[in-house]
């Protein structure tokens, strides 16, 4: 990172934010990441890394650690009150495919953030509170960190993005419904279990 490098603030050190930070720094930007969480968040849901993401993971040098962290889970099984399987969701498209891996979210984020940390300043336990943009850049106010000016701001702070709200207004916040309920709903609908879980989406599950 040389003198006079353009500065960018990445809000959110998740999958998108830490990856963006890594590549922006590689492209010569002076990168700061602000992440709301003080520590690594809990494992949460497993994430499949496949397709184009594999090449990116290889280029970032995290493919081998990802393989080592693989969950090895091949399917989710829904059981009834007596423990009898009622429906399954395969978590790998093809069991013979080597070019994909399922890892716990915290493993993936931890590895990506570690890579970003090599070239970026990571501010934890903080969040943007206000933005003031003009022709030359953007002044950013934080909850804890003193205000700073950046050339560019990247909003990668998740579904309920603070950047989106501050930049485009409260109406820009996304509706709560998402495709996430489709797969379980589809599996349960094919099963004998009667559930109203798909009622909240306005699209039919695949």
Ligand X SMILES: Cc1cc2nc3c(=O)[nH]c(=O)nc-3n(C[C@H](O)[C@H](O)[C@H](O)COP(=O)(O)OP(=O)(O)OC[C@H]3O[C@@H](n4cnc5c(N)ncnc54)[C@H](O)[C@@H]3O)c2cc1C
Which residues of the shown chain bind ligand X in the complex (CB under 6 A)?
A: 11-17, 34-37, 45, 47-48, 127, 156-158, 162, 180
Measured from the CB atom, is 37 or 198 closer to ligand X?
A: 37
Measured from the CB atom, is 12 or 110 closer to ligand X?
A: 12
The residue at minimum Cβ distance from ligand X is 14
Closest approach of Cβ 62 to ligand X, in Å? 14
Q: Please enumerate in sequence order all residues whose Cβ is within 8 A of that of 198, keeping only pairs 6 or more positions apart, or say none.
A: 181, 182, 185, 189, 204, 205
The strand pairing partners of 76, in sequence order, are 89
Measured from the CB atom, is 31 or 47 closer to ligand X?
A: 47
Measured from the CB atom, is 48 or 139 closer to ligand X?
A: 48
CB-based contact 113:18 (threshold 8 Å) = yes
Could you give the CA distance from residue 70 to residue 101 in angstroms, rounded to a whole number? Answer: 6
User: In this structure, are strands 30-35 and 148-150 parallel, antiparallel, or unpaired?
Assistant: unpaired
Closest-CA residue to 163 (of 186, 196, 180, 140): 140
Measured from the CB atom, is 20 or 29 closer to ligand X?
A: 20
Closest approach of Cβ 129 to ligand X, in Å? 9
Closest approach of Cβ 190 to ligand X, in Å? 19
Helix ranges (H only) for the chain are 15-26, 52-59, 63-68, 105-117, 162-168, 182-190
């Amino acid at each position: 990172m040389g003198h006079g490098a353009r500065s960018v603030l990445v809000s959110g050190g998740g999958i998108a934010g830490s990856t963006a930070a890594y590549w922006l720094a590689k492209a010569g930007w002076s990168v700061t990441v602000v992440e709301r969480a003080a520590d690594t968040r809990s494992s949460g849901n497993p994430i499949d890394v496949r397709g184009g993401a594999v090449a990116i993971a290889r280029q970032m040098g995290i493919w081998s650690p990802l393989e080592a962290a693989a969950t090895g889970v091949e399917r989710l099984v829904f059981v009834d009150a007596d423990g009898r399987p009622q429906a399954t969701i395969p978590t790998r498209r093809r069991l013979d495919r080597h070019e994909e891996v399922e890892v716990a979210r915290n493993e993936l984020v931890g590895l990506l953030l570690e890579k970003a940390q090599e070239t970026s300043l990571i501010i934890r336990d903080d969040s943007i509170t206000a933005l003031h943009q003009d022709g030359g850049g953007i002044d950013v106010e934080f909850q804890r960190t003193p205000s700073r000016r950046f050339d560019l701001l990247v909003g990668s702070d998740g579904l309920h993005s603070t950047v989106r709200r501050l930049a485009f207004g409260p109406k820009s916040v996304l509706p709560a419904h998402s495709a996430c309920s489709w797969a379980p709903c589809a599996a349960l609908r094919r099963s004998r279990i009667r559930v109203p879980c798909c009622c909240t989406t306005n699209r039919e599950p695949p």
